[in-house]
Amino acid sequence: MTEKIFRVENVSPIRFFGIDNSNLKLLKAHFPNLTLTSRGDEIKARGEVEELEKFSKTLTDLLTHLERYPNLTDVDVAAMLGSEPEETPSGEEGGIPDVLVYGPKGTMVKARTKNQKVLVSEALKNDVVFAVGPAGTGKTYTAVAIAVRALKQKEVKRIILARPAVEAGESLGFLPGDLKEKIDPYLKPLYDALMDMIPHDKYQKYLESGVIEVIPLAFMRGRSLNNCYIILDEAQNATETQLKMFLTRMGPNARMIINGDLSQVDLPKNQRSGLYKAIDILGNIRGISVVRLDTSDVVRHRLVKEIINAYDNNKDH
Q: What per-residue confidence (pLDDT) applies to 170?
A: 44
Beta-carbon contacts of residue 55 (< 8 Å; ≥ 6 apart): 6, 27, 31, 34, 36, 45, 47
195-209: per-residue pLDDT in tens? Answer: 889 888 888 999 899
Mean pLDDT of 108-112: 83
In the chain, where the domains are located = 2-81, 95-312
Answer positive or negative: Cα dihedral of 141, 145, 151, 152. Answer: positive
Region of 232 please: left (phi>0), alpha (psi -120 to 50) or beta: beta
Predicted confidence band at 112 (pLDDT cuts at 50, 70, 90)?
A: confident
- Residue-wise pLDDT tens digits, 15-31: 888 877 888 888 888 88
CATH number of 95-312: 3.40.50.300
Please write the tens of the pLDDT for every residue from 265-312.
Answer: 888 888 889 999 999 999 899 999 999 998 888 766 667 667 877 877
* Interval 44-63 mean pLDDT: 89
Mean pLDDT computed over 87-113: 69
Whole-number pLDDT of residue 289? 95
Mean pLDDT, residues 224-244: 93
Q: 102 falls in which pLDDT band (50, 70, 90)?
A: confident
Q: What's the pLDDT tens digit per position in 172-224?
A: 555 555 555 666 776 788 888 888 898 888 889 998 999 999 888 888 888 88
Which residues are CB-contacts of 73 (< 8 A; sequence separation ≥ 6)? 18
Report, at the CATH architecture level, how domain 2-81 is classified. Answer: 2-Layer Sandwich (3.30)
In the chain, % of residues over pLDDT 90: 37
Write the CA distances from 113 to 41, 271, 293, 298, integer angstroms. Answer: 33, 33, 9, 8
